[in-house]
Amino acid sequence: MGILNVTPDSFSDGGKFTNIDSAIKQVRKMLSEGVDIIDIGGESTRPGSASVTEDEQISRVVPVIKAIRSNFPDTLLISIDTTLSAVAKSALDAGANIINDISAGQGDKNILTLASEYDVPIILMHMQGTPQTMQDNPSYEEVVTEVCESLICSVEEAMAAGIKKENIALDPGIGFGKRREDNINLLAQLERIVALGYPVLLGTSRKRFMGSLCAVSEPAELVTATAVTTALGVMSGVPMFRVHDVKENRQAADVAWAIKLARDGCAS
């Protein structure tokens, strides 16, 4: 899943793809590097970011989605990264296929009903707090257990809204209301998230906690660190990765997948 932020203020690529030409150029590049899904967001969710109205999000994402569909009608899937049902509906009507909701329906309950009515996949993420508050003072007694329990509650709400089990995927929310040690523990125990029985999306791309581990302050310099987590994720059974740098992470995933197949084949 390649990230396409059509925002002026995202933490790593804000302002780079806010017009149609630059967005299409980036999509073409990601396609050449092996992307399967383009994840489009019209609101930054970096720590402390300000919320964006649904009208503003719609004005940012819909023209880009329509342009992608026009230029690449059948070559990829598009996910809409939003917590608002009106934005998700406009995106789906414009050609998006998947809803990616970092609030797991808590930001707008109607988004669950929408996913059910449109019969589309929805990705439910764990987050403690909101983007405005999530890094103020996050705390857990046992982060993996608590994230798993929260994700199962989100699944139950989604299914109660009529969403089919096969249309649900989960995201542990690396970096969303998590301390460095929480992120590390989640990555170390990804098998427990996978064992919940739903496809898992891992989103570590260029995140700050990795920079603190390897003394790097610029997000764009964390490509290798991200690829390491992608390889670890593949070995843990994670099938989806949300990344800025498709080429490097596709290589990491492909090599790790070959190793995983060899390991699992030997084990059987």
242 is annotated as an active-site residue: yes
- The one-letter amino acid code at 13 reads D
Contact 244, 41 (CB under 8 A): no
Q: State how beta strands 77-81 and 168-171 pair.
A: unpaired
Catalytic residue selected from 206, 207, 208, 263: 207
Task: Determine whether 165 is an active site residue.
Answer: no
User: In this structure, are residues 229 and 204 in contact, taking their beta carbons and an 8 Å threshold?
Assistant: yes
Half-sphere exposure (CA, 13 Å, Cβ side) for 250? 14
Q: Which of the following is catalytic: 89, 178, 206, 242?
A: 242
Phi, psi (degrees; rounded to nearest 5) at 4 = -130, 95
Kindly list the catalytic residues.
Answer: 207, 242
